[in-house]
Chain A
Amino acid sequence: MIEIRKINKSFNENHILKDVTFTFEKSKTNLIIGESGSGKTTLLKILIGLYKHDSGSVLFNQQKVNLMSKKQKRHLRQDIGMLFQGGALYDYMSVEENIMFPLTMFTNKSKKEKLNRVNFCLERVNLSNKNNLMPSELSGGMIKRVAIARAISMGPKYLLCDEPNSGLDPKTAILIDDLIKEITLEYNITTVVNTHDMNSVMQIGDNIAFINKGEIWWKGNNEELIISKNKELNNFVFASKLFKRLKQ
């Protein structure tokens, strides 16, 4: 479980996040939704420690991150799997080397054990036998799947995904969503997905936070979202004509 309490963050004069409080629950796909520029990426970067928040606290498994020792923080980082918007695969490494990289850096496993784990992760994302391909030889969907395989290679407790569906066709996007959902349940992890893709919201939204102008305006799940009367949320979620008709 990840909790954020009264998080505030400003960049110069711009107050990006204002007193944001939310709980990302274990074994659920927790979604942060909101318009571009609403502060969702900033919130995700605060969660993973790439940005420092001005005030408030972030708790991983009820432990405040800012009170952790360096060693504890290092261990925590190894418990976090991150899926970046563009995949962020190391382009000079093959698929196998990319997935093996965290295992080589942080474990003392033998080459055979590491290879077994890589093959297991690749199988899990339906990319068996793609070990020797380079990132430049992969499609957008494959890059995302390899990135997921790398994120789960260390058996993380937390999986954080930044817009996992951006740039993907609807069919592949659903495949990625389903994969994230399956992995969350299978490994009993806390997953946080940052998205503005409404298909994802409907497909995997177990616990949703709607951010608008740096504040949380609505919380709930995908079923509650459909019947919500929150005007700002409805304007965002049901922005397209199709979704408006479905809502009616």
Chain B
Amino acid sequence: MSKIFRHIGNYLIMMFRVINKPNKWIVFKKQLILELEKVGLNSIGIVFIISFFVGGVVSIQTAYNLESPLLPMYIIGLASRDSLILEFSPTMISLILAGKVGSSIASELGTMRVTEQIDALEIMGVNSASFLILPKLIACILFFPILVIMSMSIGMIGAWIGGLSADISTSEFLYGLKYEFNPFYITYALIKTIFFAFVISSVSAYFGYNTKGGAINVGKASTKAVVVSSIIILILNYILTDLLLS
């Protein structure tokens, strides 16, 4: 238990150093663009592929389970829409990003720590925590909502194609997509995503930044980053859902 409190304390100390005015805005801007490319643009492919196929599977499975003649066919579109917007895109994509982006952040910072690159920054008088972590944090907070919106859109295309293969007509599927649509669902998904983006970037950065030792410990830090971020995302998902939807 004391270990958890020590981690929380160290995490907060690190975050106080991270949220600081950058030494040079021009350097910060350059770092931010680099991070947007690394954490954002490079994740588009995996988000597209996963969202498309999961969307398709959701639609086919819903159709398979609702074969009653009493149920209208448009319900397939409605169910796919709600499961994609409310849960799959914000939460499952965030868990996937915790694996992809989180492990990359932790291993990058961990390697920088064990090869003394972070020490080199500190000796120069650069606030290494802010210099290295703040651009990652902002890039994740800015880009993850975009990825989630993309995931929702691609997921729905996948669901439509899946629906076609389960004999759901395009008009029925589109009717279901639009039926009693509550725009707050999107807001809810984006709020969750922003929280998850903060958790993924900061928790992964914490484990990477505080790596000690060599290559084995970089691997351990990366694994811990993914596991802890995923657990926090799941707990936070429950709390935010309870707060925003109940």
Contacts of A243 in B (CB 8 A): none
The reply on A91 being an interface residue by CB < 8 A is yes
Give which listed residue, A50, A85, A106, contacts B123 with CB less than 8 A: A50
CB distance from B130 to the nearest CB of A (A): 12
CB distance from A70 to the nearest CB of B (A): 10
A-B contact count (CB 8 A): 46
The reply on A49 being an interface residue by CB < 8 A is yes
Contacts of A48 in B (CB 8 A): 123
CB distance from B220 to the nearest CB of A (A): 21
Contacting pair A88 B119 (CB below 8 A): yes
How many residues of A are in contact with the other chain, CB < 8 A? Answer: 22
Binds B, one of A74-82, A168-176, A227-235: A74-82
Task: Indicate whether A90 sits within 8 Å of B124 (C-beta atoms), given known contacts A104-B24, A105-B24.
Answer: no
Contacts of B27 in A (CB 8 A): 104-105
Contacting pair A50 B122 (CB below 8 A): yes
Binary contact track B209-235/A, C-beta < 8 Å → 1, others 0: 000000000000000000000000000
The reply on B23 being an interface residue by CB < 8 A is yes
Give which listed residue, A88, A104, A106, contacts B120 with CB less than 8 A: A88
Measured between alpha carbons, how far is A89 from B23 in the docked complex, in Å? 20
The reply on A155 being an interface residue by CB < 8 A is no
Residue of A nearest to B125 (CB): A77
Contacts of B116 in A (CB 8 A): 84-86, 88
Measured between alpha carbons, how far is A107 from B120 in the docked complex, in Å? 18
Contacts of B61 in A (CB 8 A): none
Contacts of B26 in A (CB 8 A): 104
Contacting pair A105 B123 (CB below 8 A): no
Contacts of A50 in B (CB 8 A): 119, 122-123
Contacts of B115 in A (CB 8 A): 86, 88, 91
The reply on B83 being an interface residue by CB < 8 A is no
The reply on A102 being an interface residue by CB < 8 A is yes
Contacts of B117 in A (CB 8 A): 88-91
Measured between alpha carbons, how far is A78 from B122 in the docked complex, in Å? 10
Contacts of B57 in A (CB 8 A): none
How many residues of B are in contact with the other chain, CB < 8 A? Answer: 15
CB distance from A75 to the nearest CB of B (A): 8
Contacts of B120 in A (CB 8 A): 82, 84, 88, 90
Contacting pair A77 B123 (CB below 8 A): yes
Contacting pair B125 A78 (CB below 8 A): yes
Measured between alpha carbons, how far is A84 from B122 in the docked complex, in Å? 13
B138-154: which have CB < 8 Å to A? none
CB distance from A122 to the nearest CB of B (A): 18
Binary contact track A37-50/B, C-beta < 8 Å → 1, others 0: 00000000000111
Contacting pair B119 A78 (CB below 8 A): no
Residue of A nearest to B38 (CB): A92
Contacting pair B119 A105 (CB below 8 A): no
Contacts of A80 in B (CB 8 A): 123
Measured between alpha carbons, how far is A88 from B113 in the docked complex, in Å? 10
Residue of A nearest to B30 (CB): A104
Contacts of B125 in A (CB 8 A): 73-74, 77-78, 106
Contacts of A82 in B (CB 8 A): 120, 123
Contacting pair B124 A105 (CB below 8 A): yes
Contacts of B122 in A (CB 8 A): 49-50
Measured between alpha carbons, how far is A92 from B23 in the docked complex, in Å? 19
CB distance from B215 to the nearest CB of A (A): 13
The reply on B236 being an interface residue by CB < 8 A is no
5 contacts between A and B (CB under 8 A): A78-B125, A88-B116, A88-B119, A104-B27, A106-B125
Which 3 A/B pairs are nearest by Cβ-Cβ distance? A77-B125, A88-B116, A88-B120
Interface residues of A (CB under 8 A from B): 48-50, 73-74, 77-78, 80, 82, 84-86, 88-92, 101-102, 104-106
For the complex with contacts A77-B125, A80-B123, A104-B24, 16 further pairs of A-B residues with Cβ separation under 8 Å are A48-B123, A49-B123, A50-B119, A50-B122, A50-B123, A77-B123, A78-B125, A88-B116, A88-B117, A88-B120, A89-B117, A90-B120, A91-B117, A104-B27, A105-B27, A105-B124
